[in-house]
Amino acid sequence: MARSIDASTSGFTLLSFVWRWIAAIALVLVTFNPSGHSAYHWITSAIGGSTFGPLHLLLVGVLLAGWAVFWIATWRALDTLGVLLSAIILGAIIWLLVDLGWVATDSVSALTWIALFCLATILAIGVSWSHISRRITGQVNVEDIDD
């Protein structure tokens, strides 16, 4: 028996989105960031020094699982067009901030940080989109209904 889902009581709030964004930014920045303190740096250093071990492999597995969850959810929710539109909107916002002089783009590191935050934002939008869409339209996705 299908249960009724009321859009006004779905439980999704701004705080729900913020938690999803924090999870996405953690995944992105633990995987790679320009500070030199990331899984990428730790693992490549271990491979280069022939010290790659089970902890490295465990981290690779955990990160791959996290990326799979976020990427599959994002792709299913937004599809190619949604991901592209999200990237265009974020790109336009960054361009505006650069034009206003609020964001400096004088270094590769700064641009990398901006790109990583944009990627995390797209992932957070993707894993939140079903909730956001239901709030806006009142329509329920087939995947949202339990049998």
What would the pLDDT profile of 85-114 be if each residue is shown by its tens digit?
Answer: 999 999 999 999 889 988 888 888 888 999
Q: Which residues contact 125 (CB under 8 A, 6 or more apart)?
A: 74, 78, 86, 132
**What pLDDT shows up at residue 9?**
45
Q: Which residues contact 101 (CB under 8 A, 6 or more apart)?
A: none
pLDDT of 6 above 60:
no
Residue with tokens 């009581």: 9
pLDDT, one tens digit per residue, over 30-42 is: 999 999 999 999 9
pLDDT of 147 above 80:
no
CA 120 to CA 3: how far, in whole Å? 32
| CA 103, chain centre distance (Å) | 21
Note whether 32 and 67 are within 8 A (CB).
Answer: no
Work out whether the CA dihedral 140, 79, 72, 116 comes out positive or negative. negative
Tell me the whole-structure pTM to 2 decimals: 0.82
Q: Which residues contact 60 (CB under 8 A, 6 or more apart)?
A: 39, 43
DSSP-derived secondary structure letter, 109: H
Q: Which residue has the higher pLDDT, 96 or 1?
A: 96
pLDDT of 74 above 70:
yes
pLDDT of 64 above 50:
yes
Q: What is the chain's mean pLDDT, rounded? A: 88
Question: Predicted confidence band at 8 (pLDDT cuts at 50, 70, 90)?
Answer: very low
pLDDT of 28 above 90:
yes
